[in-house]
Chain A
Amino acid sequence: MQAKGDRCAMSDSFSQTIENTLTSLAPLTTAANRFLDQHTVPHEAIFRVNLAIEEIVTNIIKYGYDDTAPHTITVNLALFPDTIRLQLKDDGHPFDPLQTPAPDIHLPLDQRKIGGLGLHLVRETVSRIVYRRENGTNILEMDIARQ
């Protein structure tokens, strides 16, 4: 849990770099929520930011790497009048979450698979999502409505 903070109460941006371990997730969301609270971001928007961070970071940690070496994931938040911009960077293998097929949410209970809903939830709750690969880094940028 070697979180590197770069926060300031008056700043409109937040950046934190975490290790690729699931135990890094809770301190990360706690810090991000503190930042969002300080800027009076409504609870509904904080919910959506938490969801995007949890789903994407969990996905990176579980499936993003081809080795067992330690890696880092950087989470950036920037506040705009109507939007919160969330950017996630990781050095895992190339992965574009926009290319994963949407799950069939109309299947009956018996045929529903356990799992596979995380990226779907993110795609449906953000207002914009863009992926790019740059110098061996996955960069996923999402805009989340502030209201």
Chain B
Amino acid sequence: MNISESKQGNVTILVAQGKLDATSSPELDKRISSLVENGTRQIALDLAGLDYVSSAGLRVFLSAAKRLKQAQGKLALANLSAQVQQIFDIAGFESILPIFKTVNEAVDACAI
């Protein structure tokens, strides 16, 4: 899994690429935790390059959303592939996580 980071205004954009599975998910989890610990409150996740996600990956998104909500921050996701979207649908994540078609929309949603 590859994670890269950029900033647009106050919003931190994380681009996650590759497989988000039991082996790689702790890396993304740590990355998000350390951002939040260091004061980041607005995170947009660009998942265009994410070609696999399991429950271990879903766990990272769920705990990130909980952590940011608690810290009065915002999390938004963008660019889900059809298969990743299907996994989100089965898990009922579309009702608890803001999911957008484009990164710009996700950034705008976080910035509000």
Instruction: Give residues of chain B (51-67) contacting chain A, Cβ–Cβ below 8 Å.
Output: 51-52, 54-56, 58-59, 62-63, 65-66
Write out the residue numbers on chain B whose beta carbons fall within 8 Å of the beta carbon of A115. 55, 59
Q: Pick out which of these stretches binds chain A: B6-14, B37-45, B88-96.
A: B88-96
Taking residues whose C-beta sits less than 8 angstroms from the other chain, chain B's interface range is 20 to 34
CB 8 Å contact bits of B9-50 with A (1 = contact, 0 = none): 000000000000111000000000000000000000000000
Write out the residue numbers on chain A whose beta carbons fall within 8 Å of the beta carbon of B66. 109-110, 112, 114
Q: Pick out which of these stretches binds chain B: A50-58, A83-91, A93-101.
A: A50-58
A114-B63 CB under 8 A given contacts A44-B83, A106-B95: yes
Asked if A118 contacts B54 (CB within 8 A), the reply is yes
- Residue on A with the closest CB to B97? A109
In the assembled complex, A136 has its CB within 8 A of some CB on chain B: no
Instruction: Give residues of chain A (77-127) contacting chain B, Cβ–Cβ below 8 Å.
Output: 105-106, 108-110, 112, 114-115, 117-118, 120-121, 124-125
Asked if B55 contacts A109 (CB within 8 A), the reply is no
Question: Number of A interface residues, CB 8 Å?
Answer: 26
A112-B22 CB under 8 A given contacts A50-B52, A121-B90, A125-B90: no
Chain A positions near chain B (C-beta within 8 angstroms):
22, 25-26, 29, 43-44, 47, 50-51, 54-55, 58, 105-106, 108-110, 112, 114-115, 117-118, 120-121, 124-125
Q: Compute the total of residue contacts between A and B using a CB distance below 8 Å.
A: 66
Write out the residue numbers on chain A whose beta carbons fall within 8 Å of the beta carbon of B83. 44, 47
A-B contact pairs, 11 of them (CB 8 A): A51-B52, A51-B54, A54-B21, A54-B54, A58-B56, A106-B92, A109-B62, A117-B55, A117-B59, A124-B90, A125-B86
Apart from A120-B90, A120-B91, what are 11 other A-B pairs with CB-CB below 8 Å?
Answer: A25-B23, A29-B21, A54-B21, A54-B54, A105-B90, A109-B97, A114-B63, A118-B55, A121-B55, A121-B90, A124-B90
Write out the residue numbers on chain B whose beta carbons fall within 8 Å of the beta carbon of A121. 54-55, 87, 90-91
Q: Considering the chains assembled together, what is the distance between the CA atoms of A50 and B18 in angstroms?
A: 14
Q: Of B22, B59, B87, B90, which one neighbours A25 at CB under 8 angstroms? A: B22
Write out the residue numbers on chain A whose beta carbons fall within 8 Å of the beta carbon of B91. 105, 117, 120-121
CB 8 Å contact bits of B77-112 with A (1 = contact, 0 = none): 000000100110011100111000000000000000
